[in-house]
Amino acid sequence: MADESTRAVMHVGVMGVSGSGKSTVGRLLAGVLGRRFIEGDALHPPANIEKMSSGVPLTDADRAPWLAAIAAELARGGPAVLACSALKRAYRDRLPGVRWFYLRVPRDVLAQRLAGRRGHFFPPALLDSQLVELEPPEESLDGTLPAEAVAAAISSAFS
């Protein structure tokens, strides 16, 4: 059963480093909860995508317009499920009204997932830069479990 703090939250954030499964879990969760899905990667400015594609990690300054775009999309209306790396607490603090769930995945599993992924701008070589930046929130889930199980675990906090 949802507690008062859960009822006050408008949005659900599924966060973690690249390859953690946040987009897959987020899409499933949005369907289960009947909420719109926001893909954080789709809101990166072209300069960020070009930079990451070239193997250069983003800085806090690079992320500022991206976080502003996410905040604007969240404010657009209605409860949403957001898939977003949100690596640092300061980034998450710029996105109010979100209850965050961190997908914990061991580095070797992340590296394997990224090596097998095609058609995404984030190269495997940047994984360690994200792991260095990561400040996980308290609520975390095992991101190596099937995506359906992770989505079900998160949705149970909202029923």
Q: Is the pTM of this model over 0.85?
A: yes
Question: Residue 26's closest CA among 157, 158, 154?
Answer: 154
Q: Report pLDDT digits (tens) over 11-68.
A: 999 999 989 999 999 999 999 999 999 999 999 999 998 998 788 988 999 999 999 9
Question: Domains along the chain?
Answer: 4-158 (3.40.50.300)
DSSP codes joined into one string, 104-143: E--HHHHHHHHHH--S-S--GGGHHHHHHH----S-EEET
How many residues are present in the chain? 159
Q: Order the strands of the 98-104 sheet from edge to edge.
A: 36-39, 80-83, 11-15, 98-104, 140-142
Q: Worst-scoring range by mean pLDDT, 10-24, 88-102, 124-138? A: 124-138
Count of beta carbons in the 10 Å neighbourhood of residue 48: 19
The 8-class DSSP code of residue 10 comes to -
Contact present, 7 and 79 (Cβ < 8 Å): no
Report the DSSP beta bridge partners of residue 38.
82
11-15/98-104 β-pairing: parallel
